[in-house]
Homo-oligomer: A and B are copies of this chain.
Amino acid sequence: MAKSLEYLTEALRRLPGVGPKSAQRMAFHLLQHDREGAAMLSRALYQAVESVNHCALCNTFTEAEVCDMCADEARDRRLLCVVETPADQVMIEQTLTYKGLYFVLMGRLSPLDGIGPKDIHLEKLLARAADGVVGEVVLATNFTNEGEATAHYISEMLKARGLAVSRLARGVPVGGELEYVDAGTIARAMLDRRST
């Protein structure tokens, strides 16, 4: 087979959830039916790798030093909501129940996978939460075992520094991942959030 086709098939396997068969199928599809899409994806990957960084304040993906939301003067700077991923942040925004700011961990504590406090940027969170303006930290990690353990760890860490910490109410189904929960449920959980 053509060398650059083999290389493409190999590279497609770097995508999560893509095995050898589907990588080959994707490569053939792009070359046979969608070369424009392939070129577009090539440019998009290059551009993203070159330009996307982490927000200095909330740690989410952004092309600027500080992301649009952190720079938005209309948000309530006394509230800081901690989420695992940008997708979770999007879900919470869709509920229209929260007007504060965010901190995006980009992960969760997972000792079995070797993911510890440093990997989810807890020092950055600590500095952010202790800015003297934040009055309440709302923990909105997933209600999975790992998400709960992460929330517990962060809660202890922040309360030791005298910060008020709350947790989304258990309107979110136990074991549920925020990204897959309907906005109504998250809205209720946000309104019912309790201190921890």
Contacts and interface: CB of A to CB of B under 8 A. Distances in A.
A37 interface: yes
Nearest to A69: B1
Interface in A88-125: 90, 106-107
A92 to B, nearest CB: 13
A133 interface: no
A87 interface: yes
Given A1-B61, A5-B61, A87 B24 contact: yes
B52 A46 contact: no
Q: How many copies does the complex hold?
A: 2
Contacts of A49: 30-31, 35, 38-39, 42
A2 B63 contact: yes
Contacts of A48: 4-5, 7-8, 27, 30-31, 38
Nearest to A24: B87
A138 B35 CA distance: 31
Interface residues of A, number: 54
A30 B45 contact: yes
A26 interface: yes
Contacts of A60: 1
Contacts of A21: 179
A31 B4 contact: no
B31 A52 contact: yes
A11 B40 contact: yes
6 contacts: A1-B86, A5-B61, A11-B45, A31-B61, A39-B46, A41-B45
Interface of A: 1-5, 7-8, 10-12, 14-17, 21-22, 24-32, 34-35, 37-49, 51-52, 60-63, 67, 85-87, 90, 106-107, 179
